[in-house]
């Protein structure tokens, strides 16, 4: 009887130790942010291209003492002037300025992604097209009598 009692006691103590260690691991995971954490207000920086000044890149986010990196893309076209994180609604293109051969249009801010600071209104310009488009001709080989 005494041997059974001491064996039962050893098993009980071992079970308590295993349960306590499992609880510690869960707390450590949530502290590191890998278990989801309790962080709800992430703040992100600008997207930084991996090579050159445009293309695929990384954006770093911080919340309390946690940090994480998110994949992103820096545009390689005219949008890089104001960033891909600022979304604008643009009006129609203006008339072509004969002196500069450029036309402009303005846009108003719709939304800023990742809490980035964006200008409320912007103006973009492009070269004027001087080509006159021809009307499309009928396709050959289609229709009756061919």
Work out how many domains the chain is built from and give that number.
Answer: 1
List the domain range (segments joined by +) for residue 114.
43-127
Residue 17 confidence (pLDDT) above 80: no
Mind listing the pLDDT tens digit for each residue in 33-88?
444 467 788 888 888 889 887 889 998 888 888 899 999 888 777 566 677 788 89
Mind listing the pLDDT tens digit for each residue in 110-136?
988 877 778 899 998 889 876 655 666
Separation of first and last alpha carbons in the chain: 108
* Cβ proximity of 113 and 87 under 8 Å: yes
**Is 73 a domain residue?**
yes
**Is 35 a domain residue?**
no
- The 8-class DSSP code of residue 62 comes to E
- What's the pLDDT score for residue 93? 92
**Is 8 a domain residue?**
no
């Amino acid at each position: 009887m005494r041997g059974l009692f001491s064996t039962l006691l050893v098993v009980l103590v071992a079970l308590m130790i295993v349960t306590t260690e499992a609880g510690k691991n869960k707390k450590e995971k949530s502290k590191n942010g890998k278990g989801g954490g309790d962080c709800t207000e992430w703040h992100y920086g600008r997207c930084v291209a991996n090579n050159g000044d445009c293309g695929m890149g990384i954006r770093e986010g911080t919340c309390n003492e946690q940090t994480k990196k998110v994949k992103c893309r820096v545009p390689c076209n005219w949008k890089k002037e104001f960033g891909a994180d600022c979304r604008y609604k643009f009006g129609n293109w203006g008339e072509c300025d004969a002196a500069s051969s450029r036309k402009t249009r303005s846009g108003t801010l719709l939304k800023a992604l990742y809490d980035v600071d964006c200008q409320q209104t912007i103006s973009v310009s492009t070269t004027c097209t001087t080509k006159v488009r021809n009307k499309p001709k009928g396709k050959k080989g289609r229709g009756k009598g061919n």
